[in-house]
Structure formats: C-alpha cells, structure tokens
Amino acid sequence: MRIVVLIVVVAVSWRYVIRPIRVEGPSMLPTAKESQVKFLYRLAYLFHEPRRGDVVAIRFTGESILLMKRIVGMPGEKVEFVEGRLHINGQPRIEPYIKRPYTWNFVPDNSQLGPDEYYVVGDNRIMPEENHTKGVARRAKIVGRVLL
C-alpha cells in the first residue's frame, strides 16, 4: 500500500508541481544552454505574482510547447529598448544577467502593458532582435518559474 501511495504522490508531484523542460534554441544564452534540462516549478506563483527578472515558462501552444523567457516588463509599464538598454517608463534599467552589450533599438507595438500583461524576452540579446520570440504575455499564459 505504501508503494502505491508513494507512486501516486510522485506522479502527481512530477506532473503538477515540478516539471522537466528541455531548452531548445539559443535565445536564453548564457543563462540556459541548448539541450539542457531545467525544472519548472508550477506552484511558484500560487501566493504571489511574477516578478521582474524571473525566468518563466510561457504556454505557447497546447500543453507541451513552452517558451522559456525572462520577465522584464510588469503590468502598467511602458517597455522599450534604446541603444542596447532596456527602458521602463523612459528610465534605463540595469540587467545584471546580460553579459555582453547589444544594440537593439525598438519600441514594441504594445509597449504600454495592460493590467495582466508582462513583457518577456530572452537573455541572448546579441542575436538580432527580429530573430527573438518576445513580447507581451498575459498572466494566464505563465505556467511557472524555471529553477536555474
């Protein structure tokens, strides 16, 4: 009986609490390397909302395809990239997780975030901006926090 209970507890935990995800693509370099396995903590935002700087998994399509991105913009803020620096509400932000300078200059189409919207982007900003999957993510699409 104990073995059956243990198997059920492990199976439920593995599916609904901690979930392994495999990193594909270079958009989160150097934070996460390609083909690495990371773990997604699905209960991270049960008692508080996501925070700036959190690396999160976002439901892209269906249950099995998730994007791993960093939250840089919070609800109600205006996001833009000027001369390689992230600007929030017109003020430059320090991003200690960015290891090399980059040259992005753009204002997203939806630069003013709504009440349940977050702006997410990968850490590898050396890649051309147009090669990144980035943008606004609604709170309901954020599945959990990636454990690094």
Please say whether the dihedral angle defined by the alpha carbons of residues 98, 103, 105 and 109, taken in this order, is positive or negative.
Answer: negative
Contact 21, 146 (CB under 8 A): yes
Over residues 27-60, the pLDDT tens digits come to: 898 889 988 999 999 999 988 999 999 999 998 7
- Domain 2-147 annotated CATH 1.10.3720.10: no
Contact 60, 108 (CB under 8 A): no
**Would the pTM count as exceeding 0.95?**
no
Contact 121, 94 (CB under 8 A): no
DSSP 131: G
Which comes out higher in pLDDT, residue 37 or 61?
A: 37
Q: Which residues have a Cβ under 8 Å from the Cβ of 64 and sit 6 or more positions away?
A: none
Contact 71, 50 (CB under 8 A): yes
